[in-house]
Amino acid sequence: MKNQELKNRDLEVLWHPCTQMKDHETLPLTPIKKAYGVYLEDFEGNKFIDAVSSWWVNIFGHTNPYINEKIKEQLDTLEHVILAGFTHEPVVKLSERLVKLTPDGLEKCFYSDNGSSAVEVALKMSFHAHKNDGKVAKDIFVSLTNSYHGETIGALSVGDVELYKQTYEPLLLKTIQTAVPADMSIEAARKAASEFEELCRERSTEISAIILEPLIQGAGYMHMYHPEFLVLVRDICTKYDVHLIADEVMVGFGRTGELFACEHANITPDFIILSKGLTGGYLPLSVVLTTNEIYAKLYCDYGEHKAFLHSHSYTGNALACAAANATLDIFENDNVIEQNRVTAKYMGEKLLKFKELENVASVRQTGMICVVELKGYTPEERIGLKVYAHGLKNGVLIRPLGHIVYFMPPYIITDKEIDKMMDTAYEAIKGL
């Protein structure tokens, strides 16, 4: 009864994200009463394995006892304070740790509330640093074809989602797309990098930065590419005075088999953007890390008008920082990356059976992210919605990206739960 009551009340007052609300005329909402580990539970006791980590954020399970404890401790001390002219222990501690953990040379942390906002921060910092260097013509950003970096105006501008670009085109910034590597081969990486270098050769005086998701384009249908592309792009950016912005909002914090995806290429970007798993999926927080060199370009006396201009009310929120520090504690104490590699190997073994299905075009994997790409369907057939509905009926939250069925569960998932998650998806795809 409570499930239905909450559904009815919801539809009266809520407008959900990434949702055509008309779908809920035939596909009911799922009210959640509580969550624990990899499970979500509704008011009738039905349980669902969270195969997508609640939009890729929840890495150590729902209501994690350790993170819960640390947030409760912080709650009794300091919930929030303005970060302009003030500071606090959790944000200083978190910043010190992130500087040590991220690639060498990233020395300064600037906080915001979410991934899209952090993208805006990085874009503005890049432009402003060039401007303060007298390079005012560098006002164009480059991103990869098939990319997605969020849904604020600046973040949409550097994305390459056709529907978004068509709808909001009059509002968008000037951007250029360069080719993403066509597949996971080193040859494709080199070809795409060559195209980017040609673009820089022709227009580097106009280009402020290139922004990319290292190794995996999340909302870009989980497209994956070889780390060699990152190595080559880093060299090209240095050669042509173009900043490299690594958007690790989705791929950071262990998803790819290393703590950060850039580690696979052993590179240091000029900016790295982190969010989602940063707080273990608990509270909104994002951070842009950059170099002391870029920081120095915006360091000035009052009246010089060179200082960076950006702020959010909840910047560096103490509760969110406490959750982030607790998350980093778990990484430090529990050998997470090593265990993830074991779990990823098992997921990869289970992934192979999807190849036998006639409607599967391919499967692919990077670390803790597994993908099944379907074939033979039109967008109008809403195949993803059918897989999603089947999953809910059988106790698994699967949220495909169109014809892409992917698995990105919390790291604490067991082999038995992986079996349930993948077997449910297999039956859904087989029955289409």
pLDDT in tens, the chain (432 residues): 688 899 889 888 999 988 888 888 888 899 999 999 999 999 999 999 999 999 999 999 999 999 999 999 999 999 999 999 999 999 999 999 999 999 999 999 999 999 999 999 999 999 999 999 999 999 999 999 999 999 999 999 999 988 888 999 999 998 999 999 999 999 999 999 999 999 999 999 999 999 999 999 999 999 999 999 999 999 999 999 999 999 999 999 999 999 999 999 999 999 999 999 999 999 999 999 999 999 999 999 887 889 999 999 999 999 999 999 999 999 999 999 999 999 999 999 999 999 999 999 999 999 999 999 999 999 999 999 999 999 999 999 999 999 999 999 999 999 999 999 999 999 999 999
Element (H, E) at 125: helix 115-132
Cα 331 → chain centroid: 18
pLDDT for 308 equals: 92
pLDDT for 2 equals: 86
Of 196, 200, 201, residue with least CA distance to 225 = 196
Cα 204 → chain centroid: 28
What's the rounded Cα separation, in Å, for the pair 9 and 102? 44
Place of tokens 């089947």: 390
pLDDT for 62 equals: 98
**Summary count for the chain: helices (H), strands (E):** 14, 16
Helical H segments across 142-227, by residue range: 153-157, 162-168, 186-203
DSSP secondary structure code for residue 173 in this structure: P
Strand order in the sheet with 39-41: 34-36, 39-41, 47-50, 396-397
34 touches 44 (CB < 8 A)? no
**CATH architecture, domain defined by 68-333:** 3-Layer(aba) Sandwich (3.40)
What's the rounded Cα separation, in Å, for the pair 201 and 24? 50
β-strand partners of 288: 110, 273
Domain ranges of the chain: 32-63+336-430, 68-333
What's the rounded Cα separation, in Å, for the pair 396 and 391? 5
What's the rounded Cα separation, in Å, for the pair 287 and 291? 13
**CATH architecture, domain defined by 32-63+336-430:** Alpha-Beta Complex (3.90)
DSSP secondary structure code for residue 180 in this structure: P
What's the rounded Cα separation, in Å, for the pair 220 and 216? 8
pLDDT for 132 equals: 96
33 touches 41 (CB < 8 A)? yes
Of 132, 125, 90, residue with least CA distance to 108 = 125
DSSP readout, 247-305? E-TTTTTTTTSSSSGGGGTT---SEEEE-GGGGTTSS--EEEEE-HHHHHHT---TTS-
41 touches 34 (CB < 8 A)? yes
Other C-beta atoms lying within 10 Å of the C-beta of residue 329: 14
